[in-house]
Structure 1
């Protein structure tokens, strides 16, 4: 993914983008209706009274402002509910939900369309043909508003709920896994052995959100460099933890250009960082196990979700086209620890949660050979924690049965 495409995708996920785009289209539609009317014949089969169109526009303008405010307040409430019941890290995904954004955008765009249309009619800018065109467009806008209202009724029943939030995070994680599968190792060569070169660090601390490997390859070819990427998307880079190691002669300008190939922000991004999705899912499950919520069922649902995602993980075995770039693959143990370790710590006394975690790891170990050793090590850690936390002998007996696979293989 190029830097421009990455930034464009981030902008499109902002909550203001679609409403702004729909508002611009609404104003443009009124202007186009005025321009087209100039090419219409002077005599029309019938006359469209100005008050006929203006009455509809006034109804839309007066009602849609209230609807838009209500829709926005509903979304804000959903943000608060998702933050308190799951994790604040999932809120950007809810805010970026195109379905909710589209409905709100239709309301705001139709409101602005009505206001501009009323202004044009009151100022006498439209001829008979212009009023006819505006009436036709108004009917189309009315249909869009009704469809958006019907769709919004279904959306408000789900947005912000725990189940919906889990599904949204699952989709974002699956999309990141798809990107990783299409571009394994960021299309670079696999790093073998210890990395070498002079370190180049980020000027300020932050999370790597994106790495433009294509631009990095171009700079490496132009200046005869070999670059080892040390900070994949999701890594916390600091002035003492390098973004990359470079073999070859570099100047200050070149070092700045190499750093510009990385996007470093205050928060992690889901786009090219599947591990972040697993961390957020772990936070949702871990909060469900807290004393204030006490909902092991949600934790089990999240464990099942992660099991599906891990089975879709594609191992980074093939090297890419960027022959002057080296990068290490993601370590399987790190991925499993991102999700299972918090639950192993806080869910150790609950046999139902521990049992489901061990069954999940058994499935991953059997179906994903590259994860097998790490899954067994993680399962042993879970068993050790659970044996110390469980007080009932019946729970320990169930634990021994469900963990028998660890040493059997």
Structure 2
């Protein structure tokens, strides 16, 4: 990722990006139609297809005014409904699923179409001149405005359907799972093409971060270019999503740096004052876990959703087990210049299991499902270290079950095969 790509990625995820682009398109269309009206396009069309042209000035003004007022009301209603649904999603699932719903491109496109049509009709209304000449009425432009409003009504119907689907927990889980799985598989596929060799870093020089914020990425192309230009190997000590304090050790180098090169390297590390839900697979595990835990709260009491989240987590863990503990920046010759630390399988599994064990330890069904997940992972290990990690989690799960489930029959079935009864 270079600076331009990072900039485009940041503005593309903003809710105002597509509405702005589409609104400018509507504005440009309005000026184009005003220009064509000056060339008497309506006069030409009234000869060819008179039924398509509105040639009465008062009628045109009335229609445009009505369309503008109706569209403004439709826009307000649509996005008032979005706010209600977002509040519901935050209460029932997790506040961290909101950025994904808000930044949905389909919602932005519908909003942009509304605003573009409003702007178009406003400028066409302004362009109507106070004259009795038939050809001075922008009849064809008014017709196009009506067509755009009909398109907005169709978009509104689609919007109602899509927002009702997007707020369903199954669709939210599927979207998070698909995005996270794609990111992990992309990393695994990339690492299969690379050598995992990197020099020992025992006596390397360490450098501290001079700012505070959430670390969310690296300008890969810029950092790789700096490494090659200065024949420098670097280890990035930060994890994506980690909150960094001023003075935290950020990276290590195999040789000392001058102040200028140090600042250039720091400039390739990206920080934000808010937690960005971007290309970080850890957020996928956390969001799915939070939805599952929230479903087990007394106010919601939906163990079925918790069971579904464990299914999705099992699928993601199977992919995560294939991923190496480190990522690399590699040149075209296959040489690794930068080693980037990332969350290990053991850390992610512990965080997920610790959360579920705490909030679900009284529910035998969920505990059995967690045991089933661990046994499934155990059957797909890639090395002995993963086996030790999974067995440790199995033992902890058994301890919590025995301490919190009093029914002996339930305890006797905790390791039985889990058969879904839904």
Query: Could you state the TM-score of these two structures normalised by the residue count of structure 1?
Result: 0.87
Is 1:16 equivalent to 2:16 in the alignment? yes
Distance 1:173 1:268, change over 3 A: farther
Q: Alpha-carbon deviation of 1:396?
A: 0.9
Q: Alpha-carbon deviation of 1:53?
A: 4.4
Partner of 2:50: none
- Cα distance between partner residues in 1 of 2:160 and 2:94: 25
- Cα distance between partner residues in 1 of 2:376 and 2:395: 15
Q: Alpha-carbon deviation of 1:389?
A: 1.3
- Cα distance between partner residues in 2 of 1:105 and 1:41: 27
Distance 1:199 1:37, change over 3 A: farther
Q: Over residues 222-265 of structure 1, what are the superposed CA-to-partner deviations in whole Å (9 max), with x where a residue is unaligned?
A: 22321111113223322343221122232222212111111112
> Of the candidates 320, 325, 330, which is equivalent to residue 321 of structure 1?
330
Q: Over residues 366-407 of structure 1, what are the superposed CA-to-partner deviations in whole Å (9 max), with x where a residue is unaligned?
A: 23525544333222222221121111111111114359xxxx
Partner of 1:297: 304
Partner of 1:397: 412
Partner of 1:250: 257
Q: Which runs of 5+ in 1 are unaligned?
A: 404-409
Secondary structure at the aligned position of 2:339 is classed as strand
> Of the candidates 275, 280, 289, which is equivalent to residue 282 of structure 2?
275
Distance 1:228 1:118, change over 3 A: same
- Cα distance between partner residues in 2 of 1:146 and 1:31: 23
Distance 1:129 1:394, change over 3 A: farther
Distance 1:178 1:142, change over 3 A: farther
Secondary structure at the aligned position of 1:380 is classed as helix
Deviating more after overlay: 308-317 vs 277-286: 308-317
- Cα distance between partner residues in 2 of 1:378 and 1:308: 17
Deviating more after overlay: 218-227 vs 63-72: 218-227
- Cα distance between partner residues in 1 of 2:375 and 2:56: 72
Partner of 1:357: 370
Distance 1:45 1:104, change over 3 A: closer
- Cα distance between partner residues in 2 of 1:142 and 1:130: 19
- Cα distance between partner residues in 2 of 1:165 and 1:266: 26
Q: Alpha-carbon deviation of 1:28?
A: 0.9
Q: Over residues 338-366 of structure 1, what are the superposed CA-to-partner deviations in whole Å (9 max), with x where a residue is unaligned?
A: 32220012111111001111112222222
Q: Which runs of 5+ in 2 are unaligned?
A: 48-52
Q: Alpha-carbon deviation of 1:303?
A: 0.8
Partner of 1:32: 32
- Cα distance between partner residues in 1 of 2:184 and 2:399: 31
Partner of 2:3: 3
Deviating more after overlay: 129-138 vs 386-395: 129-138
Is 1:260 equivalent to 2:267 in the alignment? yes
- Cα distance between partner residues in 2 of 1:192 and 1:396: 50
Q: Alpha-carbon deviation of 1:286?
A: 1.2
8 Å contact 1:90–1:280 — kept in the other structure?
Answer: yes
Q: Over residues 302-352 of structure 1, what are the superposed CA-to-partner deviations in whole Å (9 max), with x where a residue is unaligned?
A: 111112223344523996524321234542111212322200121111110
Partner of 2:351: 338
- Cα distance between partner residues in 2 of 1:189 and 1:119: 66
8 Å contact 1:78–1:159 — kept in the other structure?
Answer: no
Q: Alpha-carbon deviation of 1:179?
A: 4.3
Q: Over residues 161-191 of structure 1, what are the superposed CA-to-partner deviations in whole Å (9 max), with x where a residue is unaligned?
A: 4334323332432343244345449989555
- Cα distance between partner residues in 1 of 2:135 and 2:189: 56
- Cα distance between partner residues in 2 of 1:186 and 1:50: 69
Distance 1:180 1:136, change over 3 A: farther
> Of the candidates 109, 122, 138, which is equivalent to residue 115 of structure 1?
122
Q: Alpha-carbon deviation of 1:116?
A: 1.8
8 Å contact 1:225–1:249 — kept in the other structure?
Answer: no
Distance 1:122 1:198, change over 3 A: farther
Partner of 1:387: 402
Q: Alpha-carbon deviation of 1:132?
A: 5.0
Is 1:62 equivalent to 2:69 in the alignment? yes
8 Å contact 2:129–2:137 — kept in the other structure?
Answer: no
Aligned residues: 402
8 Å contact 1:23–1:108 — kept in the other structure?
Answer: yes
Root-mean-square deviation over aligned CA pairs: 3.0
